[in-house]
Chain A
Amino acid sequence: QQPVQSPQAVILREGEDAVINCSSSKALYSVHWYRQKHGEAPVFLMILLKGGEQKGHEKISASFNEKKQQSSLYLTASQLSYSGTYFCGTGSSNTGKLIFGQGTTLQVKP
């Protein structure tokens, strides 16, 4: 079952904040966040695991609510380089296969 992302699109000015949500109808084991710029490969942002562990290497924070089967990605003090399409992917415990949402397009303007 594909996770549902909201909003579908966001337009921000530099320095503004944004939240992108990802909801699943199935129990979540892990949530993976990627950003994709036009014509480029998706780039890893963060993994959130059941139990609260997070792995990421960018100045982006996220939350994972197991009970609500939701994850949210928080982009603070946005920069022009944050523009792109953000995807959440729900992961299984043993294969690494991801089921991606439909994406949220973020545009940061000067």
Chain B
Amino acid sequence: DTGVSQDPRHKITKRGQNVTFRCDPISEHNRLYWYRQTLGQGPEFLTYFQNEAQLEKSRLLSDRFSAERPKGSFSTLEIQRTEQGDSAMYLCASNPSRPNTEAFFGQGTRLTVV
């Protein structure tokens, strides 16, 4: 088991372009989370999946953001028509669906919108 992996690690894009990030969770983990982290701040919750079902999405999340987890394995996060304010680190985490278990984070994808 190699932990949670995210791809790409870095992405630079022009404003208005679409970007897609991928997260591969630890294989036996049912739950998968996406967080966004800006400099000097804690991770901010975006959305979460239990298997393939997206069960919660942050009210702060623009409709330009969409996430999927087909077949309950890897997940993708897409941002359409990127804006400079989308520049951040996007973190993925996973854990089993047992209550009160630690979340394992990936190293994140750093997005820079120019």
Contact = CB atoms under 8 A, between A and B. Distances in A.
B65 interface: no
A42 B42 CA distance: 10
Contacts of A89: 42-43
Interface string B25-62: 00000010101000011111100100000011000000
A70 B81 CA distance: 40
B48 to A, nearest CB: 6
A87 B99 contact: no
Interface size class of B (residues with CB under 8 A): 20 to 34
B100 A30 contact: yes
A38 to B, nearest CB: 11
A34 B95 CA distance: 15
Contacts of A49: 100
A102 B40 contact: yes
Interface of B: 4, 31, 33, 35, 40-45, 48, 55-56, 91, 95, 97, 99-108
Given A41-B106, A95-B55, A100-B35, 14 more contacts: A30-B100, A32-B103, A41-B91, A44-B104, A47-B100, A47-B102, A49-B100, A96-B95, A96-B97, A96-B103, A98-B45, A100-B42, A101-B42, A102-B41
